[in-house]
Amino acid sequence: MEDKQGKNIQFYNNTIYKLGHDGLFVLRSENVEAWNNRITCRTNSALRVWNSNHVKFHDNIIDSFHHWSAGGPGIQIEKGPDSSNQTAIVNDVEVYNNTICNSFGPGIWMPDYDESTSIGDQGKSVHIHHNIFYRTGTNPSITSIGGIVANGFNGTLIENNLFDRCYGAAIYLTSPPEYIPAGGLFKITVRNNTIVNTQEGTIDPNGTGYAAINNFPQIYDLVLQNNSLYNNVRGDYKNCTSTTYIYVNPLADQKNHDYQLLSVTGRWDGIKWVDAGKDIAIKLNNIVACIAPAQSVSPIVNETQITTNVSYKEFPSIYGDRIVWQDYRNGDLGNASWDIYMYDIATSKETRITTNKSWQENPEIFGDRIVWEDGRNGNQDIYMYNISTSTETRITNDESDNTHPAIYGDRIVWERHDGGNHDICMYTISTHKVTQITKNGKAYNPAIYDDRIVWEDYRLADEYDLSSSDIFKYDLSTHRVAQISTSGRAHNSAIYGDRIVWYDFRNGNDDIYMYNITASSEIQITTNISEQEFPAIFGDRIVWQDYRNVQYNPDIYG
């Protein structure tokens, strides 16, 4: 169906199968709505608008006919030169609640061929939300493929969508529009999406396989916020960055394309657990932990042994499927050499990160970066290693002892020993700026997540109990300090989201505890009578060193 210069168009409850061109093609029209259609594309798109305004495409199911003659996107939003109306503006287009799968071209393609002289006259205000994209971009003969491919369009908002196994990229910003207007960049915001299993493009895999790709950062201002990423084959972002994303398995039944999130224990209905194995109330990007009130039920903890080498292994840290720790297997009586090792859960592969003959201790990992304290210069310094580039960088270069680093996004924090004082410092990687966080001289072992820094603090210790320590938190955005634990026996905290973990001696042995900032609730994680220490947390996973097997020779548990 083709409609030109129409108004108040409604297109719904149709079944369209392998038409020669578009299922619906609307040109220079206003107030267009298409919903509840089942469309299998052949040579072009299911739904297409050109130079049209106030458009809603929602609750449609779209796929493609797989044949050499097939091609095209699921939905096409287009802005182009118009001889009858050179100043036409594509504005107020909303795409939501659609399932777009197995498309030959992109799930959604947004080409802009206009030659307008200002960004304000270009296509704008497109809102794409709460859609499911899977196996989009399967065409083996085109390069610009993905879940959503944009050429231009200023002010686009892409949020709360799920992308699974898209080829090329989930979000792909490719060649610029025909004319690059002066006065700013094309801003596109991508937030609160779940992006998993992105695959390389089939015709030209080089540079593809990422969650998001910005091929022209000089043209596009791509803003990435709070996206959940997992198992994208080439990595998270190319030519774009974000410090507010999480890396966690969404626990969906992706094989059967069932994207209602799984849970370990089911839902808490206020009285009991129901629907074990599936939380039917949660869909798309709302990844949460299903935890009943602490007084009602204990969490289910599944433990897995990570290391089996007989050497000493200590201080684990985890990010996604990667775990790092310090390892003594290369040391001997004449060489106190700890090294940093990494284990990849997905590939079951172990990798040695450091080879210097001195000691490297207390590693932390975030994304492709590992940080640790290093003794090669006579005192302790902070070093950083980039997994992707295999490069090592020295962060601190002073006479103080700098220990116990932690990293999140663009920030590294550590404990600095200066004249007998112990305080927390922060380093911003992009600006090379160092900021002192605490000044009481009694702060140890920091950790960081987003704008929150946590550490163990001895400010409440007195002459009767010099060892009294608790966990404190500092918020970089509000500049407020808050006390988290009250046992006086809390050590070595770690943080992920609104969860803080530490080990605590309140029961006469060291156990792992967790505090939920939002719920203001504390829960005990381990109950084994041996020692469990130095926890790290990522998503729903906590790892720690555990002495239950051999005294004085811990293993890593999770």
pLDDT along the chain (558 residues), means of 10: 75 86 90 93 88 92 73 87 62 91 90 64 80 85 84 87 92 75 76 91 80 89 91 89 77 59 49 42 27 37 71 81 88 72 89 91 92 93 94 92 92 91 93 92 92 92 70 93 92 92 91 93 90 87 85 75
SS (H, E, C) 380-396: CEEEEEECCCCEEEECC
Residue 245, C-beta contacts closer than 8 angstroms, at least 6 positions apart: 224, 226, 227, 228, 229, 236
| Short-list 456, 295, 429, 421, CA closest to 366 | 429
d(C-alpha 198, C-alpha 218), whole Å: 25
SS3 of residue 418 by DSSP: strand
Four-way CATH pick for 2-249: 2.40.50.90, 2.160.20.10, 1.10.10.10, 3.40.50.970: 2.160.20.10
- To 5 degrees, how large is the angle CA 14–CA 259–CA 202? 80
Q: How far is CA 87 from the centre of its chain?
A: 40
Name the residue type at position 391: T
Backbone angles phi, psi at 189, to 5 degrees: -105, 130
**Displacement of CA 231 from its chain's centroid (Å):** 10
CA distance 158 to 128: 5
> In this structure, what are the phi and psi dihedrals at residue 296, rounded to the nearest 5 degrees?
-100, -35
Q: What is the dihedral of CA 20, 23, 27, 31, to 10 degrees?
A: 180
Q: Which residues contact 487 (CB under 8 A, 6 or more apart)?
A: 470, 504, 505, 506
pLDDT number for residue 286: 28
d(C-alpha 20, C-alpha 33), whole Å: 22
Q: Where are the domains of the chain?
A: 2-249, 260-296, 454-537
Question: What is residue 88's predicted lDDT score, i.e. its pLDDT?
Answer: 65
Q: How far is CA 188 from CA 16, 123, 127, 173, 248, in A?
A: 32, 12, 10, 9, 24
Cα gap 434→228, rounded to integer Å: 29
Interatomic CA distance for residues 452 and 152, integer angstroms:
36
> Cα–Cα distance between 102 and 121 in angstroms, integer?
34
Q: How far is 184 from 550, CA to CA, in rounded Å? A: 63
Between CA 319 and CA 366 the distance in angstroms is 6
Handedness of CA 98, 99, 104, 109 (dihedral sign): positive
| Spacing of C-alpha 367 from chain mean position | 9
End-to-end, the C-alpha distance of the chain in Å comes to 57
Query: pTM for this one?
Result: 0.50
Distance of CA 219 to the CA centre of its chain: 24
Contact yes or no for 511/481 (Cβ under 8 A): no
Calpha distance 483→486 (Å, rounded): 8
> What sign has the CA pseudo-torsion 517, 522, 527, 532?
positive
Angle, CA of 456, 461 and 466, to the nearest 5°: 100
- Listing DSSP states for 438-487 in one string gives --SSBEEEEEEETTEEEEEE-TT-BTTBTT-BEEEEEETTTTEEEE---S
**Contact yes or no for 100/107 (Cβ under 8 A):** yes
Query: With left for phi above 0 and alpha for psi between -120 and 50, is residue 506 left, alpha or beta?
Result: alpha
- The residue among 395, 376, 400 whose CA lies nearest residue 385 is 395
Look at residue 289 in the predicted model and tell me its pLDDT.
26
- Tell me the three state secondary structure of residue 254: helix
pLDDT for 405 equals: 93
3-state secondary structure at position 99: strand
Length of the chain: 558
182: left (phi > 0), else alpha (psi -120 to 50), else beta?
A: beta
What angle (nearest 5°) sits at the alpha carbon of residue 74, between those of residues 69 and 76?
105
How is residue 295 written in tokens?
A: 């007084």
Q: Are 251 and 261 within 8 A, CB to CB?
A: yes
Structure tokens at 273: 């657990």
CB 341 within 8 A of CB 327: yes
Q: Which residue has the tokens 């200066």?
A: 418
Nearest to 192, CA basis, from 153, 151, 217, 161? 161
- Tens of pLDDT, residue by residue over 385-424, are 999 899 999 999 988 999 999 999 899 999 998 888 999 9
CA dihedral over 8, 12, 15, 17, signed as positive or negative: positive
Q: How far apart are CA 331 and CA 190, in angstroms?
A: 47
- Which structure tokens are listed for 286? 């709302």
